Structure 1
Amino acid sequence: MTFSVRIAVRGYELDTQGHLNNVVYHQYGDHARWECLRAAGVGGLMDLRPAAWSPTRGNIGGRSRERPP
Structure 2
Amino acid sequence: MADIAISDSVTSIGDKAFSGCESLTNIAIPSSVNSIGNDAFAYCKSLKSLVIPDSVTSIGDMAFCGVPH
Provide the TM-score with structure 1 as the length reference.
0.26
The structure in which a higher percent of residues are helix is: 1
Structure with greater Cα Rg: 1
Q: Which protein, 1 or 2, shows the higher relative CO under an 8 Å CA cutoff with sep ≥ 6? A: 2
The structure in which a higher percent of residues are strand is: 2
